[in-house]
Amino acid sequence: MSGNISDDEVPVNVNYRKPEKKSVNEIIDADKGDESLNKYKQTLLGSAPSQVIVEPHNPNHVIIKSITLVADGRPEVTMDLSNPKAIESANFSVKEGAHYRLRFNFFVQREIVTGLKYFHKVSRHGITVDKETYMVGSYAPKTELQSYQTPLEEAPSGMMHRGKYKVKSKFVDDDGNCILEWTWTLEISKDW
Protein backbone atom coordinates (compact mmCIF):
# COMPACT_ATOMS: atom_id res chain seq x y z
CA MET A 1 0.00 0.00 0.00
CA SER A 2 1.54 3.34 -0.99
CA GLY A 3 0.85 6.89 -0.02
CA ASN A 4 1.32 8.93 3.11
CA ILE A 5 -1.18 9.20 5.87
CA SER A 6 -1.77 12.79 6.85
CA ASP A 7 -1.48 13.68 10.51
CA ASP A 8 -5.24 13.96 10.91
CA GLU A 9 -6.28 10.80 9.05
CA VAL A 10 -7.32 7.71 10.93
CA PRO A 11 -5.36 4.70 9.65
CA VAL A 12 -7.51 1.95 8.19
CA ASN A 13 -6.86 -1.70 8.97
CA VAL A 14 -6.83 -3.42 5.56
CA ASN A 15 -7.77 -6.76 7.17
CA TYR A 16 -10.98 -5.34 8.62
CA ARG A 17 -14.20 -5.55 6.63
CA LYS A 18 -17.00 -3.34 7.74
CA PRO A 19 -20.34 -5.13 8.08
CA GLU A 20 -23.26 -4.51 5.79
CA LYS A 21 -25.35 -1.61 7.09
CA LYS A 22 -28.59 -2.87 8.68
CA SER A 23 -31.05 -1.15 10.93
CA VAL A 24 -31.83 -2.56 14.35
CA ASN A 25 -35.28 -3.58 13.13
CA GLU A 26 -33.77 -5.47 10.15
CA ILE A 27 -31.52 -7.39 12.51
CA ILE A 28 -34.39 -8.23 14.86
CA ASP A 29 -36.64 -9.33 11.98
CA ALA A 30 -33.98 -11.60 10.43
CA ASP A 31 -34.20 -15.30 11.39
CA LYS A 32 -37.49 -14.84 13.24
CA GLY A 33 -38.05 -18.60 13.40
CA ASP A 34 -34.84 -19.33 15.33
CA GLU A 35 -35.79 -19.09 19.01
CA SER A 36 -32.26 -19.35 20.42
CA LEU A 37 -30.95 -16.71 18.01
CA ASN A 38 -33.83 -14.42 18.96
CA LYS A 39 -32.98 -14.82 22.66
CA TYR A 40 -29.35 -14.02 21.88
CA LYS A 41 -30.38 -10.89 19.93
CA GLN A 42 -32.61 -9.86 22.85
CA THR A 43 -29.64 -10.21 25.21
CA LEU A 44 -27.40 -8.10 22.97
CA LEU A 45 -29.91 -5.52 21.81
CA GLY A 46 -32.47 -5.40 24.62
CA SER A 47 -36.10 -4.66 23.90
CA ALA A 48 -36.98 -2.07 21.24
CA PRO A 49 -33.41 -0.74 20.81
CA SER A 50 -34.38 1.41 17.82
CA GLN A 51 -36.55 3.38 20.23
CA VAL A 52 -33.58 4.22 22.45
CA ILE A 53 -33.13 7.98 22.36
CA VAL A 54 -31.00 9.42 25.13
CA GLU A 55 -30.72 13.00 23.83
CA PRO A 56 -33.61 13.78 21.43
CA HIS A 57 -32.02 17.08 20.28
CA ASN A 58 -28.76 15.30 19.37
CA PRO A 59 -28.92 13.62 15.92
CA ASN A 60 -25.72 11.58 16.45
CA HIS A 61 -25.89 7.84 17.09
CA VAL A 62 -22.92 8.05 19.47
CA ILE A 63 -22.65 10.68 22.20
CA ILE A 64 -19.22 10.74 23.84
CA LYS A 65 -19.70 12.07 27.38
CA SER A 66 -16.29 11.88 29.05
CA ILE A 67 -12.73 10.63 29.10
CA THR A 68 -11.24 9.44 32.39
CA LEU A 69 -7.60 9.00 33.30
CA VAL A 70 -7.29 5.78 35.31
CA ALA A 71 -3.83 5.50 36.93
CA ASP A 72 -2.48 2.89 39.33
CA GLY A 73 -3.03 3.97 42.94
CA ARG A 74 -4.47 7.39 42.03
CA PRO A 75 -7.97 8.87 42.10
CA GLU A 76 -9.60 8.92 38.67
CA VAL A 77 -9.66 12.26 36.85
CA THR A 78 -12.48 12.88 34.38
CA MET A 79 -12.72 15.33 31.47
CA ASP A 80 -16.31 16.28 30.57
CA LEU A 81 -16.59 16.10 26.78
CA SER A 82 -20.17 17.34 26.64
CA ASN A 83 -19.09 20.87 27.55
CA PRO A 84 -17.17 22.59 24.70
CA LYS A 85 -15.67 25.22 27.06
CA ALA A 86 -14.31 22.52 29.40
CA ILE A 87 -12.72 20.69 26.46
CA GLU A 88 -10.73 23.79 25.46
CA SER A 89 -8.91 23.89 28.80
CA ALA A 90 -8.74 20.13 29.43
CA ASN A 91 -5.51 18.93 30.98
CA PHE A 92 -4.38 15.58 32.44
CA SER A 93 -1.24 15.25 34.54
CA VAL A 94 0.64 11.95 34.77
CA LYS A 95 3.71 11.09 36.81
CA GLU A 96 6.62 9.94 34.65
CA GLY A 97 6.80 6.14 34.41
CA ALA A 98 3.25 5.71 35.77
CA HIS A 99 0.92 3.09 34.30
CA TYR A 100 -2.43 4.42 33.17
CA ARG A 101 -5.43 3.81 30.93
CA LEU A 102 -8.00 6.05 29.30
CA ARG A 103 -11.68 5.20 29.75
CA PHE A 104 -14.34 6.67 27.48
CA ASN A 105 -17.99 6.85 28.54
CA PHE A 106 -20.63 7.23 25.87
CA PHE A 107 -24.23 6.62 24.88
CA VAL A 108 -25.39 4.91 21.70
CA GLN A 109 -28.86 5.89 20.51
CA ARG A 110 -31.24 5.14 17.62
CA GLU A 111 -29.07 2.64 15.68
CA ILE A 112 -26.21 0.21 16.17
CA VAL A 113 -22.79 1.78 15.70
CA THR A 114 -20.18 -0.44 14.04
CA GLY A 115 -16.44 -0.12 13.96
CA LEU A 116 -16.16 2.73 16.44
CA LYS A 117 -12.49 3.82 16.57
CA TYR A 118 -10.56 6.22 18.76
CA PHE A 119 -7.50 7.89 17.25
CA HIS A 120 -5.05 10.29 18.85
CA LYS A 121 -1.91 12.08 17.80
CA VAL A 122 0.47 13.32 20.49
CA SER A 123 2.87 16.15 19.69
CA ARG A 124 5.39 18.24 21.55
CA HIS A 125 6.76 21.52 20.23
CA GLY A 126 4.96 20.82 16.94
CA ILE A 127 6.63 17.42 16.41
CA THR A 128 4.50 14.27 16.41
CA VAL A 129 5.85 11.86 19.03
CA ASP A 130 3.08 9.23 19.04
CA LYS A 131 0.01 8.12 17.10
CA GLU A 132 -2.42 5.46 18.26
CA THR A 133 -5.62 3.95 16.91
CA TYR A 134 -7.88 1.85 19.13
CA MET A 135 -10.73 -0.27 17.83
CA VAL A 136 -13.44 0.54 20.36
CA GLY A 137 -15.96 -1.86 18.80
CA SER A 138 -19.61 -2.09 17.83
CA TYR A 139 -22.41 -1.20 20.21
CA ALA A 140 -26.19 -1.45 20.35
CA PRO A 141 -28.34 1.47 21.48
CA LYS A 142 -28.87 1.52 25.26
CA THR A 143 -30.14 4.01 27.78
CA GLU A 144 -27.23 3.05 30.03
CA LEU A 145 -23.83 4.67 29.74
CA GLN A 146 -21.39 2.37 27.93
CA SER A 147 -17.62 2.47 28.23
CA TYR A 148 -14.37 1.44 26.61
CA GLN A 149 -10.97 1.32 28.32
CA THR A 150 -7.66 1.44 26.45
CA PRO A 151 -4.90 -1.07 27.14
CA LEU A 152 -2.43 -0.23 29.90
CA GLU A 153 0.12 2.44 28.87
CA GLU A 154 3.30 3.62 30.55
CA ALA A 155 4.12 7.32 30.66
CA PRO A 156 7.65 8.10 29.46
CA SER A 157 10.18 8.90 32.15
CA GLY A 158 13.27 11.06 32.41
CA MET A 159 13.92 14.77 32.36
CA MET A 160 13.74 14.95 28.55
CA HIS A 161 10.17 13.61 28.54
CA ARG A 162 8.75 15.89 31.23
CA GLY A 163 6.54 18.68 30.03
CA LYS A 164 3.32 19.37 28.18
CA TYR A 165 2.10 17.43 25.17
CA LYS A 166 -0.71 18.41 22.81
CA VAL A 167 -3.12 15.53 22.09
CA LYS A 168 -5.49 15.67 19.11
CA SER A 169 -8.24 13.08 19.58
CA LYS A 170 -10.93 11.84 17.24
CA PHE A 171 -13.73 9.27 17.32
CA VAL A 172 -14.94 7.89 13.98
CA ASP A 173 -17.28 5.09 12.93
CA ASP A 174 -17.12 2.59 10.06
CA ASP A 175 -18.77 5.03 7.69
CA GLY A 176 -16.04 7.61 8.32
CA ASN A 177 -18.36 9.87 10.31
CA CYS A 178 -16.44 12.00 12.77
CA ILE A 179 -18.33 11.68 16.04
CA LEU A 180 -16.12 13.94 18.11
CA GLU A 181 -12.80 15.69 17.59
CA TRP A 182 -10.99 17.72 20.23
CA THR A 183 -7.55 18.80 21.47
CA TRP A 184 -6.31 18.53 25.03
CA THR A 185 -3.09 18.69 27.05
CA LEU A 186 -1.19 15.84 28.71
CA GLU A 187 1.49 16.87 31.18
CA ILE A 188 4.24 14.45 32.22
CA SER A 189 5.72 15.52 35.54
CA LYS A 190 8.24 14.28 38.11
CA ASP A 191 5.54 13.82 40.77
CA TRP A 192 1.77 13.66 40.93
Residues 146 and 61 sit within 8 Å (Cβ to Cβ)? no
In residues, how long is the chain? 192
Cα radius of gyration (the chain)? 19
| C-alpha span between 25 and 50 (Å, rounded) | 7
| Alpha helix ranges (H) inside the chain | 24-29, 35-45, 84-88
Name the residue range of residue 74's domain: 24-189
166 pLDDT more than 60 = yes
Q: State what percent of residues in the chain have pLDDT above 90.
A: 59
Q: Supply the pLDDT for residue 5.
A: 37
Concatenate the DSSP letters of all residues of 27-92 into one string. Answer: HHHTTTT-HHHHHHHHHHH-SSGGG--S-TT---SEEEEEEEEEETTS--EEEESS-HHHHHT-EE
Residues 190 and 95 sit within 8 Å (Cβ to Cβ)? yes
* Residue at 12 is within a domain: no
Q: Per residue in 70-94, pLDDT tens?
A: 998 899 999 999 887 777 778 899 9
* Residue at 65 is within a domain: yes
24 pLDDT more than 70 = no
Q: Supply the pLDDT for residue 88.
A: 72
* Residue at 9 is within a domain: no
Q: Supply the pLDDT for residue 51.
A: 79
First to last CA, the chain: 43
Cα dist from 41 to 46, 109, 125, 127, 148, whole Å: 8, 17, 49, 47, 21
Q: Supply the pLDDT for residue 14.
A: 52
Residues 96 and 157 sit within 8 Å (Cβ to Cβ)? yes
- Mean per-residue pLDDT of the chain: 84
What CATH number does the domain containing 175 carry? 2.70.50.30
* Residue at 5 is within a domain: no
42 pLDDT more than 80 = no
Q: State which H helix or E strand residue 132 sits in.
A: strand 127-139
Whole-model pTM: value is 0.77
* Domain count across the chain: 1
Q: Per residue in 170-179, pLDDT tens?
A: 999 988 899 9
Q: Supply the pLDDT for residue 192.
A: 83
Least confident of 44-58, 104-118, 146-160: 44-58
* Residue at 1 is within a domain: no
* Residue at 18 is within a domain: no
Q: Per residue in 2-21, pLDDT tens?
A: 333 344 555 555 566 666 76
* Residue at 15 is within a domain: no
CA proximity to 165, closest of 177, 156, 176: 156
* Residue at 10 is within a domain: no
